[in-house]
Amino acid sequence: MSLETIYEAVLKGNAKVAAAETQAAIEAGVPAADILHQACIPAMTEVGRLFESGEKFVPEMLIAARAMQKALEILKPLLVQAEVKTLGKVVIGTVAGDLHDIGKNLVAMMLEGAGFQIIDLGNDVSPEKFVEAVKQHEPDLLGMSALLTTTVSSISDTIQALTEAGVRDKVKVIIGGAPITQDFANKVGADGFAPDAGSVARMAKNLLGLA
Ligand code: B1M
C-alpha cells in the first residue's frame, strides 16, 4: 500500500485497486486528506492534462473518474468528519429539456476530484430549480450543461431567471456542452466556459482566484 499505488490506480482507471488500496491506506493510519490531496487529486489533474493534450480520450477519462469515485466513497465520510476545507461549492445540472448527462457527470467528477463540493441537480433542470438551488445552497459556482441546439436557450433563460431573482451577482456561472462556444458564453453573459472536462477545474479555479 502506498499513495503512489493509489495515484497509479486512479490514473489508469483501476477502480478495484483504487478502492482496495484506499481502504488499506486508511487502515494503516494514512489521513484521508493526504490520500485525497497527494494521490487522488493529482491523478485526476494528470488525467485532465492528458485529455487536453490528446493523450487520453473520453472513455479513459470516464474510467479514471469512476476509479476516483470509488476511492472517494471510502474517503468522503472521513473527510466530512475531519472537516477538510473544499475549494468551493458547485451547483451543477443539465438544462431544461435536455437529458444528456454523461458530460455533465464527468465535469462534476473532475470538479469533485479537484476539491470542490458538488450539488448535482441531475438533468432537465428548469431555470426555477437552478434559482431555488442557488438560494438554498449559496454556491460559488453554478454549472450548466447543454447538448442540444434546441436546449442552449435554456442557459440564457436560467441566467435571466437568476437576474430576476436578484441572485445573479452572488454566483459565477460556468457553462459547457458540445454546441456551446466561448462566443455563446460571452453573448449570454456566462462567467466561464470550458470545452471539456479536462479543462473545467482549471477554469473554475481561475474564476475564483484559486489558481
Ligand atoms: Co443525444 N444527441 N439525443 N442522446 N446524443 C447528441 C447530442 C447528437 C449530437 C447526436 C447526433 O445527432 N449526432 C444530437 C444533437 C444534435 C443537436 O442538437 N445539434 C442528439 C439528439 C438529436 C438527441 C435526441 C433529440 C434524439 C431523439 O430522440 N430524436 C434525444 C434528445 C433527448 C433529450 O435530451 N431531450 C437524444 C437522446 C440521447 C440519449 C438519451 C439516447 C443519450 C444520452 C444518455 C445520457 O446522457 N444519459 C444520447 C447520447 C449518448 C448522445 C451522444 C451519442 C453522446 C453524448 C455524450 O454523452 N458524449 C451525442 C452525439 C455525440 O456527442 N457524439 C448525442 C460524451 C460526453 C463525455 O461528451 O456530453 O459533449 P459531452 O461533454 C463534454 C463537453 O461537451 C464538456 O465536457 C464534457 C467532457 O469532456 N461539457 C462541459 C459538457 N457539459 C459541460 C459543462 C461545463 C463544462 C464543460 O461546465 C458546467
From 61, 81, 101, give the residue that closes a domain.
Answer: 81
Q: Ligand 1 within 6 A of 147 CB? A: yes
Q: Ligand 1 within 6 A of 58 CB? A: yes
Q: Which CATH number belongs to the domain containing residue 105 in this structure?
A: 3.40.50.280
Do 106 and 172 fall within a single domain? yes
pLDDT for residue 84 is more than 70: no
- Per the prediction, the chain carries an average pLDDT of 93
Q: Of 61, 72, 162, 73, give the one whose Cα is nearest residue 115.
A: 72
Atom of ligand 1 nearest to the CA of 200: 88
Do 76 and 118 fall within a single domain? no
Q: Per residue in 128-158, pLDDT tens? A: 999 999 999 999 999 999 999 999 999 999 9
Do 126 and 63 fall within a single domain? no
Distance, CA 27 to ligand 1 centroid (Å)? 41
Do 183 and 94 fall within a single domain? yes
Per the structure, the complete domain to which residue 28 belongs is given by 3-81
Distance, CA 148 to ligand 1 centroid (Å)? 7
Name the more confident of 76 and 100: 100
Contact (CB, 8 A) for 162 and 132 = no
Distance, CA 147 to ligand 1 centroid (Å)? 5
Q: What is the mean pLDDT of residues 91-112?
A: 92
Q: Per residue in 156-211, pLDDT tens? A: 999 999 999 999 999 999 999 999 999 999 999 999 999 998 899 999 999 999 97
Do 103 and 196 fall within a single domain? yes
Do 199 and 109 fall within a single domain? yes
Do 35 and 120 fall within a single domain? no
Residues 6+ apart with CB under 8 A from 83: none
pLDDT for residue 18 is more than 80: yes
From 33, 60, 81, give the residue that closes a domain.
Answer: 81
Q: What is the mean pLDDT of residues 10-32?
A: 96
Q: Which CATH number belongs to the domain containing residue 20 in this structure?
A: 1.10.1240.10
Q: What is the mean pLDDT of residues 110-119?
A: 90
Do 116 and 194 fall within a single domain? yes
Sequence length of the chain is 211
Do 125 and 71 fall within a single domain? no
Whole-angstrom distance, CA of residue 55 vs CA of residue 76: 30
pLDDT for residue 110 is more than 60: yes
Which residue has its alpha carbon closest to ligand 1 atom 78? 103
Alpha helix positions (H), 83-147: 102-114, 127-137
- DSSP code of residue 29: T
pLDDT score, position 146: 98
Which residue has its alpha carbon closest to ligand 1 atom 14? 148
Do 94 and 195 fall within a single domain? yes
Do 94 and 168 fall within a single domain? yes
Amino acid at 152: V
From 81, 99, 129, give the residue that closes a domain.
Answer: 81
Which residue has its alpha carbon closest to ligand 1 atom 4? 100
Which residue has its alpha carbon closest to ligand 1 atom 66? 103
Name the more confident of 17 and 80: 17
Do 61 and 165 fall within a single domain? no
Atom of ligand 1 nearest to the CA of 180: 75
Percent of the chain with pLDDT over 90: 77
The number of domains in the chain is: 2
